[in-house]
Amino acid sequence: MARTFRLALAQINPTVGDITGNTAKILDYLERAREAQADLVAFPELAITGYPPEDLLFKKSFLTDNVAAMEKVAAASQGIAVVLGYVHIVSLERQSEEVGPQVTNAAALCYDDRLIDTYHKIFLPNYGVFDEQRYFQRGSECPVYTIGGVAVGVNICEDIWYPVGPTTVQCQAGAELIVNINASPFHAGKRAFREDMIAQRALENGLTVAYVNTVGGQDELVFDGGSMICDSTGGLVARGPAFQESLLITDLSFKEPSARPKHKPANAGAGAGVGTPKNVTVSEAGTETKPSLEAQTILVGMDGPEEIYRALVMGTGDYLRKVGFTKALIGLSGGVDSALTATVAVDALGKENVIGITMPSRYSSEGSISDSKKLAGNLGLDLWELPIEPAHQALTDMLAERFKGTEANVAEENVQARVRGNVLMTVSNKFGWIVLTTGNKSEMAMGYATLYGDMAGGFAVLKDVPKTTVYELCRWRNGQGQAFGTMDGVIPVAILDKPPSAELREGQLDADSLPPYEVLDPVVEAYVENDLGYQEMVAQGFDPQVVRQVIAAVDRNEYKRRQAPPGVKITHRAFGKDRRFPIVNRYRQHEGG
């Protein structure tokens, strides 16, 4: 006779540091799971504190408040098992002046109003955006809990990414179900990779794997949710939605222990050095019959421009809401970057909370002004027109004596960009609205941006979006109008068709300074995201001249990027925490190596 186990995965959007608000949300989802008669409800990694809490983990009050919140949730676990991410305190005493309190990244297992046990994360990621070895001690036990008569192994995020890990040990200790809690950030293509990995772990261990992920924006990171369950054959049983909160409830069926063939994991015996197994009985199988769940449809996975666009919307909206801004301010140039930024902002915040300012100069084309007005009309946002010619002329006159006898160059051009930045920041100061900058990853890589000009602002929506992807996202969004409550073709075709230009001098085009973006972007990706050297890129067929230009520009402009506002991460390696290069850096790539 098969045993039925009702599992609830609570895909929630916590806020880092909002222990009170996060706890209230957890208790709400816990009650919903109990009403659905779930045997177990699992919450994401560090759900109590939000992820990543970073140096808040050095504050004793933060740590003790987080434990008190966990205990409050434990006290509400009557009749239901709860797996909850929190920070476990080993000791509040500092090990040294350099090392703070001793803590672990932990999962509490609660049942019947009390804490039963705690799992401590074993594999601590320390690459890319992760710094867990800076904060946490490594765990050493791999528990299997008998809950409702089913053997459940609990582990955390990175623990399941390795073929030999806690899951291996828990499988050997009799686990039938693995509950893996996560705060796994998004980048394009990660959903499919993640699902393949979970399916592989389920198949090679012959057990069911449930993966619950957090959702929401946190600084530059976006967590996409996409919680899932794979059965022992690697088949997908359930998938939660992307980029929204959800309580995914699924009935799982397990054979009686006597009828279940003993599975030998593909890596049997290999987990000896990972951690020590232990078995804990929490509750026996219930005898009551539960009402059947409605048949579930496995949601279609999100890929391509849709997942990137949704990530930008969630990252932008959550950044403003969680920081406390209610309105956004954008300089509309009539170009594709500001058009996409404004569209994302409207989809994230609502048209009533986005203000556009067009700031024409003597070099602005009539088309750029009219395109900005048409875009604003399509989006329904308020548009201000503030010509910058008076300020531009005043600054030019003020500097004329000192610049006498010199050739006009980028300095004179950038006066306009800095006047525009000044206008935007002054309006921001006056009304308390955040400025969204509009530069893309291609420009940031090459330094094709003006410090204290178009880089001035509080959040950079397209900071990690290559220019070619900007166009792809615009065209995708133009076909989705009704889904977002606006018309199809919201971004005027004229904006997409015109050659990119900063319009800081007569007849200026981006192509005067940069290779065509379809040529540039693959080289930037190879150098920035894949760390390829000159010879490797040339061997792959890239133009040697373009390769030299990209290497020199990327290396030279690190100082600019350090002064840029945060922005949404959508590639597997973004500028900032993902890619950390010294500003003072005399190493130079050359043709010989």
Contacts of 306 (CB under 8 A, 6+ apart): 476
The domain of 211 spans: 3-255+271-281
Same domain? 167 vs 224: yes
* Cα separations in angstroms, 351 against 308, 317, 489, 571: 21, 13, 16, 28
- pLDDT in the model for residue 219: 94
Residue 97 has pLDDT above 90, yes or no: no
Which stretch of 166-170, 347-351, 496-500 has the lowest confidence by average pLDDT? 496-500
Cα–Cα distance for residue pair 127/106, rounded to 1 Å = 20
- 230 catalytic? Reply is no
Q: What is the residue-averaged pLDDT of the chain? A: 90
| Residue 560: inside a domain | no
Q: Are 449 and 565 in contact (CB under 8 A)?
A: no
Residue that terminates a domain, selected from 451, 474, 509? 509
Contacts of 492 (CB under 8 A, 6+ apart): 339, 371, 374, 375, 378
Same domain? 169 vs 129: yes
| Residue 403: inside a domain | yes
Closest by Cα among 473, 479, 128 to 307: 473
Residue 247 has pLDDT above 80, yes or no: yes
CATH number for the domain harbouring residue 235:
3.60.110.10
Structure tokens at 125: 């990621």
Same domain? 370 vs 414: yes
- pLDDT in the model for residue 506: 67
- pLDDT in the model for residue 481: 73
| Residue 139: inside a domain | yes
- pLDDT in the model for residue 555: 92
Same domain? 221 vs 275: yes
CATH number for the domain harbouring residue 442:
3.40.50.620
* DSSP H or E run through 145: strand 141-147
Same domain? 336 vs 188: no
Rg (CA), the chain: 27
Cα–Cα distance for residue pair 479/468, rounded to 1 Å = 18
- pLDDT in the model for residue 110: 97
Active-site residue among 25, 45, 503, 569?
45
Domain count, the chain: 2
Same domain? 243 vs 317: no
Q: Are 281 and 173 in contact (CB under 8 A)?
A: no
How confident is the model over 203-227, as pLDDT tens digits?
999 999 999 999 999 999 999 999 9
- 560 catalytic? Reply is no
Cα–Cα distance for residue pair 316/459, rounded to 1 Å = 8
Same domain? 239 vs 323: no
Active-site residue among 121, 322, 327, 569?
121
Same domain? 275 vs 325: no
Cα–Cα distance for residue pair 208/573, rounded to 1 Å = 32
Cα–Cα distance for residue pair 147/345, rounded to 1 Å = 45
- Neighbour tally for 240: CB within 10 Å: 23
| Residue 363: inside a domain | yes
Contacts of 217 (CB under 8 A, 6+ apart): 223, 314, 315, 316, 317, 318, 319, 322, 568
Mean pLDDT, to the nearest integer, of 376-405? 91
Active-site residue among 110, 142, 157, 230?
157
Same domain? 133 vs 196: yes
Residue bearing the bigger pLDDT, 41 or 98: 41
Same domain? 125 vs 66: yes
| Residue 263: inside a domain | no
Nearest 5°: the CA angle 55, 56, 58 is: 70
Q: What is the pTM of this model?
A: 0.92
Contacts of 376 (CB under 8 A, 6+ apart): 332, 342, 356, 382, 383
Cα–Cα distance for residue pair 38/454, rounded to 1 Å = 52
| Residue 550: inside a domain | no
| Residue 299: inside a domain | no
Residue that terminates a domain, selected from 465, 487, 509? 509
Cα–Cα distance for residue pair 168/160, rounded to 1 Å = 9
| Residue 286: inside a domain | no
Same domain? 400 vs 320: yes
- 190 catalytic? Reply is no
How confident is the model over 70-85, as pLDDT tens digits?
999 999 999 999 999 9
Residue that terminates a domain, selected from 479, 509, 539? 509
Same domain? 238 vs 329: no
How confident is the model over 304-328, as pLDDT tens digits?
999 999 999 999 999 999 999 999 9
